[in-house]
Amino acid sequence: MLARFCRFLPALLLISVLQADPQPNPAGHGPQSLKNLTLEQLSAIEVTSPSKEPTPAMRSPVAIFVITGDDIRRSGATTIPDALRLAPGVEVARIDGSKWSIGIRGFGTRLSRDVLVLIDGRTVYTPLFAGTYWEVQDTLLEDIDRIEVIRGPGGTIWGPNAVDGVINIITKNTKDTQGIFASAGGGNVEQGFANVRYGGDNGDGLTYRAYFKGFTRGPEHHSDGDNFDDWRGVQAGFRMDWTDQAHDEFTVSGDAYKQEDGEGVSLSTYVPPLTESLDGNAQLSGANALFRWKRTISDGNDIQIEAYYDRTNRHEPNLAEDRDTVDVDYVQRTKLSSRQELMYGAEGRLSDGRFSEVASGLVFFPIHRLDHLVSGFVEDDITLVNDKLLLTAGSKILDTNYTSVGFEPSVRLLWTPTNNQSLWASYTHALRTPSDSEEDFYLSSFLGVGGGLNEFARFSANKYFAPEQLNGYELGYRMLIAKNLYVDIASYYNHYHDLFSEDVVGPLLLETTLPFLVPVQPPLHILLPAQFRNDIHGYTKGVEVAPEWRPTNFWRLRGSYSFLHMNLEQSPAPGAIGLGTAGTTGSSPQHEGDVDSSFDIGKRLQLDLVYRYVSALPAVHAPAYSTGDARIAWRFTPLLEFSVAGQNLFQPFHIEYGADPGLPVAVARSVYATLAWRSK
């Protein structure tokens, strides 16, 4: 059936285009309203990620791309990582059914350690392994207003770990999600899902919503038949917004989730069988609560306080951790004159993590650690020429339990010669702070047999692991060339030093026991001591181009191209042996490109086609690939919609990333259908 659908699809698309009614689609409901905006209006959409204050995208001196809620819906994406494929310069590679490698301008990894991810201002970066567990970052996709993606450092405003970019997922105000929304569907990989949300108000300025979602997903393609990566979960949440028309805005929100995530892990021991692969279900759960208050004192003068609590529980086949995080953030904006505006603030965070060893070979010591982060920032916006030239300068200062006081300064210049074009340049210094995995981590791995003895490597803690550092230089240009043609170009040169490295730190040692890790007497073996260090330095450079063209009022054509060049070197300390940089430079594509064509066919039918190309990732044995997605939706009434989406249609399966352990998991071709209804 799937093969028939793929053969039939080109003919269906041709017929649809030939029958296209050149009438504008009527005003939609909910997330569809943005599709009716002109390119001029879209370029003026206000974004908050660059400065924590609403600023028109055209006048933001950063490389920012906005993925709207309607973009997500029409793409057919069912997860936030898949939605991020829409942004230029963002590298998304599926590892298996529930895991992704995501990077911005290089350094793609399972946990995206150099990218800061936020959901409504709540940081979801984990200090255990440094990064983001993408599989548990979720919400009702229907309720996402937009995803703002900053390519490049954002540390001055957002603090540490916003080295290569910031991904800010922003949900809708509850006044825009009134009534009932429900959807359900399924297919060959997306086996089943259901979503429901109800929104209301009390008639006195308070609006609210609550949602529930559940899903079950089948495994991707495994050439060895080891289909371990099935995935299922449920999640519920709420949000309340209240606005005092005079001064105050309040938001209270919360979420709770539970998942079973199939995964395969590798275990090493000093006694036979030495190494084994273990399949099992990770038990993942968590909850969060957020409070935000904003008071507007006058035009250009306001204060904002945000606080959140986040609980995560990860119990995997080879490790377990429970973590509680509390964060308080204060921001104030003061208008000093008609030409100058000052923003400043402070943040404090405590994160209490408790680690448990589930299987031999992986240990954190101490197993219980209270991590802290204290930071402050100041940023000054100075208008040098009215409506033409803006200078922004500032710095973040921070302190953590792993670092001494650090600074993240930034200088940005924005020139807007006309209302329809802008040119910007910037310099930023950014830091990624050490994590538990670099300073408190012990791991033993079986390497093989050499000289008749079993060979092992053990990574030991490095109490002197330093922050990774970036000096970033950017130049960008945006222009609304005509009412139906827009282009956004960004280029960059990033110089890195003190990057994460893996080093052999001593001579071969002959041991018969290792009591810290193994409570029993092992056979005679060779141990290769190793450590995580800061021995890699070098640069990356590249360019990103994202045009959009609207040939007619029923056809939108968008595209993007990203080029990345990485040049990194490892300089290990005397007596150490570096394991090289190939794993870093070869895990991000040098070329990426996509074309997205959207049609409104008459008043009821929508058609979306996506083509994308990604060059090879030699470090993880992933060849270059190109593939396509398609989605067709029929609106029976303005409130009821039926859609069919096909993903990765060009081949039965393809590899996007390597796997550890075992053979790479290939991403399978999939088709699923959805029926969605809203009451208003």
Q: Please give the Cα distance from 316 to 362 (Å, whole number).
A: 12
The Cα-based distances of 621 to 356, 654, 668 in angstroms read 33, 12, 17
Average pLDDT, the chain: 88
pLDDT digits (tens, 9 = 90+) for 184-241: 999 999 999 999 999 999 988 899 999 999 999 999 999 989 999 999 999 999 999 9
Amino acid identity of residue 223, one-letter, is S
70: phi then psi, degrees, rounded to nearest 5: -70, -35
Longest dimension (CA), the chain: 80
Domain CATH code at residue 227? 2.40.170.20
Read off the tokens for 362: 């992986």
Q: Please give the Cα distance from 425 to 428 (Å, whole number).
A: 10
Q: Which long-range contacts (CB under 8 A, 24 or more apart) does 71-74 make?
A: 72/31, 72/141, 72/144, 72/147, 73/31, 73/32, 73/141, 73/142, 74/35, 74/598, 74/606, 74/608, 74/631, 74/633
pLDDT digits (tens, 9 = 90+) for 582-622: 888 889 999 999 999 999 998 899 999 999 999 999 999 99
Give strand pairing partners of 473.
Answer: 427, 493
Q: Please give the Cα distance from 358 to 355 (Å, whole number).
A: 9
Number of domains observed in the structure of the chain? 1
**Residue numbers of the domain that contains 588:** 2-678
pLDDT digits (tens, 9 = 90+) for 18-52: 333 433 333 333 334 445 567 777 777 888 877 77
Read off the tokens for 284: 């993942």
pLDDT of 623 above 70: yes
pTM: 0.91
pLDDT digits (tens, 9 = 90+) for 503-554: 887 644 334 333 334 444 566 777 778 888 999 999 999 999 999 999 998 9
Q: In this predicted model, which residue has the larger pLDDT, 471 or 156?
A: 471
Q: Please give the Cα distance from 90 to 12 (Å, whole number).
A: 31
DSSP SS3 for 74: helix
